[in-house]
């Protein structure tokens, strides 16, 4: 198999895993959905035109990808949900799974970095329903 074909296969598998986790995130509040959908969009855009088109045209996940690719960023609600999910999931991980001080500091720094990244992205303005 050629290197390019292997890379496409790896990207497709990573995209499928990301979208699978995003679907789980729609029902479990500690799994952030939006970053996983964006990650799936990244992988599918590099691996499979069919999967990329499916994701962009999806009624739930499509607007996330379309807005991100257009540079519109996240809505305030999406940012809030992402930050709460990150705090909850990282907090739970710190309480249950991480025992070392260095591991805890690393997890906290990673969480703060991801939160900063999300908050610093453009905020999409949502038109009022009354208009």
Residue 53 in this model has a pLDDT that exceeds 90:
yes
Mean pLDDT, residues 2-16? 89
Please count the other Cβ atoms lying within 10 Å of the Cβ belonging to residue 86: 19
| Kind plus residue range of the DSSP H or E element containing 50 | helix 49-57
Q: What single-letter DSSP state applies at residue 58?
A: -
Confidence of residue 123 (pLDDT cuts 50, 70, 90): confident
Q: What is the pTM of this model?
A: 0.66
What's the rounded Cα separation, in Å, for the pair 7 and 46?
9
Confidence of residue 101 (pLDDT cuts 50, 70, 90): confident
- Go through the chain and tell me how many residues it has: 131
Secondary structure class of 78 (helix, strand, coil):
helix
Residue 128 in this model has a pLDDT that exceeds 60:
no
Q: Which of these, 34, 118, 114, 30, lies nearest to 106 by C-alpha position? A: 114
Query: From its phi and psi, is residue 125 left (phi > 0), alpha (psi between -120 and 50) or beta?
Result: beta
Token reading at 42: 């990244």
Mean pLDDT, residues 35-55? 90
Mean pLDDT, residues 79-85? 81
């Amino acid at each position: 198999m050629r290197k390019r074909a292997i890379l496409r296969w790896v990207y497709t598998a990573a995209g499928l895993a990301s979208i699978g986790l995003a679907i789980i995130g729609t029902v479990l509040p500690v799994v952030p959905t939006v970053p996983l959908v964006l990650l799936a969009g990244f992988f599918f855009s590099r691996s499979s035109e069919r999967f990329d088109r499916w994701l962009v045209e999806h009624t739930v996940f499509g607007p996330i990808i379309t807005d991100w690719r257009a540079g519109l960023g996240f809505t305030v609600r999406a940012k809030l949900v992402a930050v709460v999910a990150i705090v909850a999931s990282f907090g739970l991980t710190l309480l249950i799974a991480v025992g070392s001080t260095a591991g805890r500091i690393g997890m906290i720094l990673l969480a703060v970095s991801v939160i900063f990244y999300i908050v610093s992205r453009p905020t999409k303005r949502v038109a009022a329903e009354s208009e």
